[in-house]
């Protein structure tokens, strides 16, 4: 009974989340619109405009570019932008000064500047193609190139580069502050929550799929059920299977997110990726089991009846274990049934090894999984 | 013999491509650096600077932001930027004019402008979250918001908005022209080539995996081989399995790329995605077969010997079919062995249905695949 309550809670949560997803999109749009209006005030209100002037442009640009759906993404982009601007500005200024010292105001200066643009632009572009840098600092490297280039070439023209840099940085800072304030403090959308829920949901999906598979396998005689069930299993397993890149970007954003709710600093987000990997392996197996349903040649129903009982026992307890694990992950506590699950899976394996069954692949994998989760929660 | 030549060609191509990949990254960096120097000339050369002035900044910004690794990506971003700028500029100008007509120069004006920023900013942000728009026009929508906002608020200040818009557009156009010229005409890196090669390569990987699986399955007695073979199969199958999002973005870029080499306009890139989907299904099955290798309980070697011959026959002809199909896809011609492959797979299925074998899932799937490819090339 407790488990079925959990199941309904999770499935209702997901249903709610579907319509909630729309609400969150709307909310995000309103938040961005508010941020835009706030930075536009720099233009619209005379006293503010007298302070910042045309540089208000950079505040607007900052908001448009860094305000992302998840709070972690906004923070990551904002910090990248800040870092890239400061680094690019400082190096651009040094390069411009160097060019002026060495080349004077004439042609030599322009040649040195052009050369430095070539070298720094090329090197920074190459660094953007290195996977490790691309993953976390792609945007920062882009802003570095942009700022370096703008500063080094205007060093040739503008007298007061430092003044210009100070003003621009301060308006970028204003844009950043507005974004962070609205993104993190007003109904924040956390990538960490999303990753947490979607991982727990995957356990649920796989448990459902295993149960549905068992059901349709053992009543194939009723042909009408054959057509739709497997495809729903397969589409849901595939959604688990193809969650890799989404999980990775969520984990990446989650790492940037500050302490909030139940997640502390240095929360082990990589464990989620490992659990996700195991779940994807399991999805592969469920998918291939499902494949056997579509095969034109099916074992006779008497043969099927003979393996029905043990297979169902195995499948149902697998589904049960998955639900238990999903629940304990969701609630972030050590799985209370841990002492039950592991021995149960082990005895199941022993039983299975006494007969050949299509489910025999599961034993070892589930075991590994149980261990991984137990050590995680 | 012909096939093995093809196999060595493909595997050498891939090895070459690994080091070629580095070369291409270097090439891309140099191309970006050249583009940056070219647009910096707008600042560096006096006669040019007199023409464009501070607006040269926008040319630099354009190059930094739109120059992407694949030619199709650059083109798509550039067109998005152009479209977003023009649309945003036009609507921002209309909104600014409207505000001036209705609200005069005072407070009313500022309120109308602020309101329009809220409405357009929010609506465009929401549109960026719609999957279909996000996929192809995300960047354009972002630039729309930016331009609209900048134009509508400066309408309050600048007298000559039209003049400003014209100058900015022309410098953005210069940046775009430089990018397109260098990206498309100087050693272009086509997303379409990449998609084409990687799809053909997947056939090869799966064929290899099936052969390796057979090999290690039928000589499990030599324990030393057991450890490394399966993991190499599984990592390669997983690379096929997780290629979905990469394929999708490549196909997306490829659609933007103009006629070149062997690819015409309206080349059916979606077929590649369908073929990729089938190959991923196949990879799922190979992976689950591999899973059976790691199971602690193995069938006795006499049982294994009894199924050895038919299984090997099936597996090898599957691998052969995959190679043939991959080769014909690579060379873009109708598969010459089409008349051979289909009947062969059909007869294999008949044979298989007379016995229970772990490979029995393959029959129908391969059939579908054969048909898909035949209709495609």
DSSP B130-149: SHHHHHHHHHHHHHHHHHHH
For residue B220, the SS3 value is coil
pTM for this prediction: 0.80
pLDDT at position A141 over 90: yes
Mean pLDDT, chain B, integer: 75
CA closest to A113 among chain B residues = B44
Residue with the two structure tokens 């989404």: A246
Mean pLDDT throughout A67-87? 90
Contact A43 B122 (CB under 8 A): no
* pLDDT band for position A107 (cuts 50, 70, 90): confident
pLDDT in tens, A302-357: 666 666 666 677 777 777 777 777 777 777 666 555 556 666 666 665 555 544 44
Helix residue ranges, H only, B45-130: 46-52, 56-66, 71-103, 107-128
Nearest CB partner across the interface for B61, out of A117, A146, A356:
A146
Mean pLDDT throughout A169-184? 89
Mean pLDDT, chain A, integer: 75
- CA distance, residue B85 to nearest chain A CA (Å): 13
- pLDDT, residue B124, reads 92
Nearest CB partner across the interface for A33, out of B28, B121, B157:
B121
CA closest to A118 among chain B residues = B33
- CA distance, residue A1 to nearest chain B CA (Å): 34
Mean pLDDT throughout B43-53? 80
**Total CB pairs under 8 A between chain A and B:** 187
pLDDT in tens, B80-105: 998 998 899 889 888 888 888 887 76
Report the C-alpha gap between B201 and A258 in whole angstroms.
Answer: 43
- pLDDT, residue A338, reads 56
CB B89 within 8 A of CB B152: no
DSSP B6-44: HHHHHHHHHHHHHHHHHHHHHHHHHHHHHHHHHHHHHHH
- CA distance, residue B283 to nearest chain A CA (Å): 9
pLDDT at position B350 over 50: yes
Q: How far is CA A274 from CA A269, B158, B243, in A?
A: 9, 56, 19
pLDDT at position A84 over 80: yes
Contact A288 B25 (CB under 8 A): no
Nearest CB partner across the interface for B26, out of A40, A119, A126:
A126
Residue with the two structure tokens 């991923």: B280
CA angle centred on A66, ends A60 and A69, rounded to 5°:
120
CB A157 within 8 A of CB B56: no
Contact A118 B37 (CB under 8 A): yes
- pLDDT, residue A100, reads 81
> How remote is the C-alpha of A43 from its chain's centroid?
36
More confident residue, B365 or B298: B298
Phi/psi of residue A156, each to 5°?
A: -70, -30
pLDDT in tens, B181-191: 998 888 888 88
Report the C-alpha gap between B153 and B144 in whole angstroms.
Answer: 14
**Of A332, A195, A182, A329, the residue nearest A253 (C-alpha):** A195
Mean pLDDT throughout B252-281? 76
Listed range (A177-181, B157-161, B167-171, B352-356) with the worst mean pLDDT:
B352-356
For residue A6, the SS3 value is helix
**Of A100, A63, A92, the residue nearest A78 (C-alpha):** A63
- pLDDT, residue B136, reads 85
pLDDT in tens, B112-153: 888 999 999 999 999 998 888 888 888 999 999 999 998 888
- CA distance, residue B264 to nearest chain A CA (Å): 29
- CA distance, residue A5 to nearest chain B CA (Å): 33
Task: Determine the residue among A50, A125, A289, A345 to mutate to test chain B binding: the one whose Cβ has the most chain B Cβ atoms within 10 Å.
Answer: A125
- pLDDT, residue A148, reads 92
Paired residues of A263 in beta bridges: A260
Contact B44 A153 (CB under 8 A): yes
Contact B117 A40 (CB under 8 A): yes
pLDDT at position A369 over 50: no
pLDDT in tens, A277-307: 777 777 777 776 666 655 544 555 666 666 6
Residue length of chain A: 377
- CA distance, residue A107 to nearest chain B CA (Å): 9
Contact B296 A150 (CB under 8 A): no
Q: Which two tokens stand for residue A245?
A: 């890149």
Contact A33 B119 (CB under 8 A): yes
**Of A87, A116, A85, the residue nearest A100 (C-alpha):** A116
């Amino acid at each position: 009974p407790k488990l079925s309550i959990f199941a309904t809670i999770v499935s209702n949560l997901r249903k709610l989340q579907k319509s909630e997803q729309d609400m969150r999109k709307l909310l995000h749009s309103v938040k961005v619109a508010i941020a835009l209006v706030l930075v536009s005030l720099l233009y619209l209100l005379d006293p503010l405009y007298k302070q910042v002037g045309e540089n208000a442009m950079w505040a607007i640009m900052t908001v448009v570019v860094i305000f992302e759906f998840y709070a972690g993404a906004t923070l990551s982009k904002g910090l990248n932008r800040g870092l890239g601007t400061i680094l690019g500005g400082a190096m651009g200024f040094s390069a411009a000064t160097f060019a002026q010292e060495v080349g004077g105001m004439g042609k030599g200066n322009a040649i040195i500047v052009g050369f430095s643009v070539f070298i720094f632009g090329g090197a920074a572009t190459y660094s953007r193609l290195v996977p490790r840098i691309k993953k976390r600092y792609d945007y920062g490297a882009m802003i570095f190139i942009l700022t370096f280039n703008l500063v080094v070439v205007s060093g040739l023209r503008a007298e007061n580069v430092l003044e210009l840099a100070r003003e621009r940085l301060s308006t970028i800072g204003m844009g950043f502050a507005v974004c962070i304030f609205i993104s993190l403090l007003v109904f924040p959308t956390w990538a960490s929550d999303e990753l947490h829920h979607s991982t727990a949901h995957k356990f649920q999906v796989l448990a459902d799929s295993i149960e549905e598979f068992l059901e349709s396998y053992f009543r194939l005689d009723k042909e009408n059920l054959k057509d739709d069930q497997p495809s729903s299993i397969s589409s849901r397993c595939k959604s688990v299977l193809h969650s890799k890149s989404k999980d990775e970007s969520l984990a990446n954003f989650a790492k940037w997110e500050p302490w909030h709710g139940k997640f502390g600093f240095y929360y082990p987000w990589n464990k989620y990726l490992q659990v996700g990997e195991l779940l994807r392996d399991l999805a592969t197996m469920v998918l291939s089991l499902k494949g056997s349903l579509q095969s034109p040649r099916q074992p006779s129903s008497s043969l099927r009846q003979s393996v029905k009982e043990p297979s169902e026992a195995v499948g149902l307890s697998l589904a049960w274990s998955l639900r238990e694990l999903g629940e304990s992950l969701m609630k972030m506590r050590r799985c209370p049934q841990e002492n039950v699950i592991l021995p149960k899976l082990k005895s199941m394996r022993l039983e299975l090894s006494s007969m050949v069954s299509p489910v025999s692949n599961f034993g070892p994998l589930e075991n590994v999984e149980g261990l991984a989760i137990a050590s995680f929660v």
